[in-house]
């Protein structure tokens, strides 16, 4: 798995990622045709993890970058290899024409959705010995992309999110003039730091309140609780951040998650070094800084 942080500040879009790649363990209860001794050691969230993975890339010669998470291989090729093919072939000229960032994100989604249909689905059906639609949704591999950058002739950044195969069109995470941060992947430590809780914690507390109260909470009750919790979130001044400060902020958030999993029990699913990239309206390209 991964942690990805995107940040839009007045003069740049910044993407940060960790650099660990892991081989996921077998899904609980999955009927997979493997030898018993293999299944025994393959149970758990991950079988193996390696540092040094590259998850952050420039998309051609545009001020557009992409960070990846989820499944790292399609067939016998890495996501990086397929990304290079996307840039080289440039389907429909989304990278060479004066296109919007949304058009680029849709081109990327369509390219990988086609790969999923042609490569991933047949492999899964053959491996699991069942039709694809009978494989539980949580046992179907997927791959996500966070696309940050500038539309042609634009002076403010945007961020889109795509997850294949479940997202049918690019999700707008930050429009132009919406300056803020987003996080993707294993971001629970950021939620705990930033908000003081995670959604599962809040859901459990609301269920307990309902048991004590003896009836379901109204929508107004829930809205009041959410409004109260929001007053305790850490504020930020992202709309005023210089690019150099934004880079340090992204590094801090990604490092927070890396250090959490460094000391957490089990194989670290997020780790390695922090990788940062940025683009500005004047840069012409997306630059991977480290």
pLDDT digits (tens, 9 = 90+) for 164-214: 999 889 999 999 999 999 999 999 999 999 999 999 999 999 999 999 989
* Residue 266 backbone zone (phi > 0: left; psi -120 to 50: alpha; other: beta): left
What local confidence, expressed as pLDDT, does residue 29 receive? Answer: 57
Q: What mean pLDDT comes out for the span 152-168?
A: 95
What local confidence, expressed as pLDDT, does residue 139 receive? Answer: 82
Fold of 3-196+233-288: 3.60.20
Q: How far apart are CA 13 and CA 182, in angstroms?
A: 11
For all residues of the chain together, what is the average pLDDT?
90
pLDDT at residue 30 tops 90: no
Q: What mean pLDDT comes out for the span 65-83?
A: 90
Q: Which pTM was predicted?
A: 0.89
Please calculate the CA angle 32-33-36 and round it to the nearest 5 degrees.
Answer: 95
What local confidence, expressed as pLDDT, does residue 201 receive? Answer: 95
Q: How far apart are CA 32 and CA 26, in angstroms?
A: 8
Q: What mean pLDDT comes out for the span 251-261?
A: 97
pLDDT at residue 41 tops 60: no
pLDDT at residue 153 tops 90: yes
Q: How far apart are CA 195 and CA 224, in angstroms?
A: 16
Q: What mean pLDDT comes out for the span 69-88?
A: 90
Any idea where the domains of the chain sit in the sequence?
Answer: 3-196+233-288
What local confidence, expressed as pLDDT, does residue 13 receive? Answer: 98
Bridge partners of 23, per DSSP, are: 48
| Secondary-structure breakdown of the chain: helix, strand, coil percentages, each rounded to the nearest 5 | 40, 25, 35
What local confidence, expressed as pLDDT, does residue 81 receive? Answer: 95
Q: How many residues does the chain have?
A: 290
What local confidence, expressed as pLDDT, does residue 42 receive? Answer: 55
Q: pLDDT tens for residues 218-242?
A: 999 999 999 999 999 999 889 899 9
- In the three-class reduction of DSSP (H, G, I as helix; E, B as strand; rest coil), residue 30 is classed as coil
Angle at which helix 219-230 crosses helix 199-213, to 10 degrees, equals 130
Q: How far apart are CA 98 and CA 162, in angstroms?
A: 21
What local confidence, expressed as pLDDT, does residue 177 receive? Answer: 92
Are the beta carbons of 151 and 100 closer than 8 angstroms? Answer: yes
Percent of the chain past pLDDT 70, that is, above it, reads 91
Q: pLDDT tens for residues 42-65?
A: 555 666 777 888 999 999 999 999
Percent of the chain past pLDDT 90, that is, above it, reads 72
Around Cβ 100, how many Cβ atoms within 10 Å? Answer: 16
What local confidence, expressed as pLDDT, does residue 73 receive? Answer: 82
What local confidence, expressed as pLDDT, does residue 160 receive? Answer: 98
Q: How far apart are CA 143 and CA 163, in angstroms?
A: 6
pLDDT confidence of 258, banded at 50, 70, 90? Answer: very high
Are the beta carbons of 34 and 287 closer than 8 angstroms? Answer: no
| Four-residue CA torsion sign, 26, 161, 289, 180 | negative
For residue 50, what is the enclosing H or E element?
strand 46-51
Q: How far apart are CA 146 and CA 6, in angstroms?
A: 8
| Alpha helices per DSSP H over the chain | 36-42, 79-89, 101-115, 121-128, 188-194, 199-213, 219-230, 243-263
Are the beta carbons of 276 and 247 closer than 8 angstroms? Answer: yes
Q: How far apart are CA 173 and CA 182, in angstroms?
A: 7
Q: What mean pLDDT comes out for the span 28-49?
A: 59
What local confidence, expressed as pLDDT, does residue 44 receive? Answer: 59
For residue 275, what is the enclosing H or E element?
strand 275-279
- Give the phi and the psi of residue 13 in degrees, each rounded to 5: -115, 135
What local confidence, expressed as pLDDT, does residue 49 receive? Answer: 75
- Give the phi and the psi of residue 109 in degrees, each rounded to 5: -60, -45
Q: Tell me which of 284 and 157 has the higher pLDDT.
A: 157
Q: How far apart are CA 45 and CA 27, in angstroms?
A: 8
């Amino acid at each position: 798995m991964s942690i990805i942080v995107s940040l839009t500040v007045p003069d740049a879009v910044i993407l940060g990622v960790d650099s660990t790649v892991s081989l996921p363990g077998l899904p609980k209860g999955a009927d997979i045709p493997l030898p018993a001794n293999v299944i025994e050691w393959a149970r758990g969230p991950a079988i193996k993890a390696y540092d040094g993975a590259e998850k952050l890339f420039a998309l051609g010669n545009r001020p557009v970058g992409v960070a990846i998470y989820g499944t790292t291989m399609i067939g016998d090729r890495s996501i990086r290899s397929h990304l290079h093919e996307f840039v080289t072939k440039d389907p429909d000229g989304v990278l060479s024409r004066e296109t919007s960032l949304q058009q680029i994100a849709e081109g990327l989604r369509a390219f990988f959705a086609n790969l999923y249909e042609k490569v991933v689905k047949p492999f899964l059906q053959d491996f699991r010995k069942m039709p694809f639609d009978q494989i539980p949704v949580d046992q179907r591999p997927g791959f996500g992309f966070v696309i940050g950058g500038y539309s042609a002739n634009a002076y403010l950044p945007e961020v889109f999110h795509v997850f294949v195969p479940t997202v049918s069109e690019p999700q707008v995470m930050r429009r132009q003039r919406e300056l803020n941060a987003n996080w993707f992947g294993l971001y629970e430590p950021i939620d705990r730091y930033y908000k003081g809780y995670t959604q599962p914690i809040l859901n459990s507390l609301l269920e307990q309140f309902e048991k004590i109260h003896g009836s379901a909470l109204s929508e107004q009750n829930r809205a009041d609780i959410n409004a109260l919790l929001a007053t305790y979130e850490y504020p930020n001044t992202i709309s005023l951040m210089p690019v150099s400060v934004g880079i340090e902020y992204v590094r801090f958030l990604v490092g927070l998650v890396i250090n959490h999993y460094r000391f957490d029990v089990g194989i670290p699913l997020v780790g390695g070094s922090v990788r940062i990239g940025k683009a500005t309206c004047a840069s012409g390209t997306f630059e991977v800084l480290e």
